[in-house]
Amino acid sequence: MRKAIWTAALVGLASGMLACGGGSEAGLGPPPTTVDGNWNLTVTNLHAVIQGATFTCNLSGTTLSLTQTGTSFSGSYSGGTMTCTYRGQNYSVPISGTGTVINGTLNGNAVTFDLDDPSFHFTGTAVENHMSGSCVLQGDLGPPIGLVTLNGTWQLSR
């Protein structure tokens, strides 16, 4: 269900755009004592080439609430706006509802987690009140596009 939120946002953006034709490395600084709490997520430069043109998206305004147990963590996310550009056209879609943060691990400074399932995967580093790295989002944009893999960068701050 929650994966459907991301996929629906991407499908809506891609459909509108097509119709119009138009991290850091581990080992830096001390690891945080905990990732517990609320974080603000920004994802930038999610990109792929679709039908010969670059499709680029950014996500802002999403809040993550995390709970850590040992070196594992999980939680939820909510809100935000995904803004994409394709063939000179800009489109924005609010992310409604909530989703789940799963598969979270913190090993020294190295951090990994997924939003809803492994098709939106984050890897990077955590230092005190900041996390950042790279992410991969896979989503099915439907015919005639099909499965698309977007790569980008992310950061979390408190």
For the cut 70, the answer to whether the pLDDT of residue 93 exceeds it is yes
The values of phi and psi at residue 88, to 5°, are 80, 0
Q: Parallel, antiparallel, or unpaired: how do β-strands 130-140 and 120-127 relate?
A: antiparallel
Helix (H) or strand (E) holding 19: helix 2-20
Q: What is the pTM for the complete model shown?
A: 0.80
Provide the strand spans (E) within the chain.
37-50, 53-69, 72-78, 81-86, 89-94, 98-107, 110-115, 120-127, 130-140, 147-157
Q: Ramachandran region of residue 8, left (φ > 0), alpha (ψ -120 to 50) or beta?
A: alpha
Question: Domains in the chain and their CATH numbers?
Answer: 2-157 (2.40.160)
Q: Are 84 and 44 in contact (CB under 8 A)?
A: no
- Give 110-139 pLDDT, tens digit per residue: 999 999 999 999 999 999 899 999 999 998
For the cut 90, the answer to whether the pLDDT of residue 21 exceeds it is no
